[in-house]
Amino acid sequence: MAVRPITIIGHKALHQPTKKVKEITDATRVLIDDMFDTLEAANGAGLAANQVGVRQRIFVFDCEDGAGTAHRGYVINPVLERGPVPPGDPDPEEGSEGCLSVPGEAFPTARATWARVTGTDLDGNEVVVEADGGTLARCLQHETDHLDGKLYLDRLTPTYRTDARQALKMRGWQDDHITKWDPTTEKAEDI
């Protein structure tokens, strides 16, 4: 098991849909173990495989639901269902969202309060993760978006999209300047 570098916004792996996992291999098992190590080192709530440069449809999570109950697990080939997303700008106090691939930034992001993903585990058994509120509901939507090639920044309303663009420009994160972030050292390096 190892901590892997996390890809930063602009890396092509974050902007392309991932591929369905057709066969579970030893490499798949190692990937999931490494993703949990990376998630823990980065102090995150969830991590998608493409955030560590692997274009497979897998994510891991470790966060609380709306009742404050902790949930930790992974889903292979998740399919998302969700409730309606409230219209308009989200409440900055309740809807702030961040991302390990956009370190140091967080912006109000509208999400459904209820979400469920279905997929499989390493043995091919069905996995169902459902949350009504809390970080887990947001995480299920966020990580599935990653696997579809979207970042939470793509979901921002125009009000917050301008703030996000300015923050990314100030950090120098552009498509021609791509870095990976090492959660163990908290440093970014050019690739």
Q: Would residue 67 count as lying in a domain? A: yes
- Provide the domain count of the chain: 1
Choosing from 126, 143, 186, 189, the catalytic residue is 143
Neighbours of 135 (CB within 10 A): 21
Range of the domain at 96: 6-171
Contacts of 180 (CB under 8 A, 6+ apart): 5, 6, 7, 8, 11, 53, 188, 189, 191
Are residues 116 and 71 in contact, defined by beta-carbon separation less than 8 angstroms?
A: no
Q: Would residue 188 count as lying in a domain? A: no
Are residues 59 and 78 in contact, defined by beta-carbon separation less than 8 angstroms?
A: yes
Sign, CA torsion 133/139/140/145: positive
Binding residue numbers for Fe cation: 99, 142, 146
Given this model, what pLDDT does residue 184 score? 52
Given this model, what pLDDT does residue 3 score? 96
Are residues 139 and 44 in contact, defined by beta-carbon separation less than 8 angstroms?
A: no
Q: Would residue 187 count as lying in a domain? A: no
What CATH number should be reported for the domain holding residue 17? Answer: 3.90.45.10
3-state secondary structure of 64: strand
Residue 105 identity (one-letter amino acid): E
Given this model, what pLDDT does residue 175 score? 46
Verify whether residue 143 is a known catalytic residue.
yes
Q: Would residue 185 count as lying in a domain? A: no
Given this model, what pLDDT does residue 124 score? 96
- The 10s digit of each residue's pLDDT in 131-149 is 999 999 999 999 999 999 9
Q: Would residue 179 count as lying in a domain? A: no
Q: Would residue 96 count as lying in a domain? A: yes
The four Cα atoms 145, 151, 154, 158 give a dihedral, to 10 degrees, of: 120
Low-confidence ranges of the chain (pLDDT < 50): 175-183, 186-191
Q: Would residue 189 count as lying in a domain? A: no
Q: Would residue 177 count as lying in a domain? A: no
Beta bridge partners of 132: 114
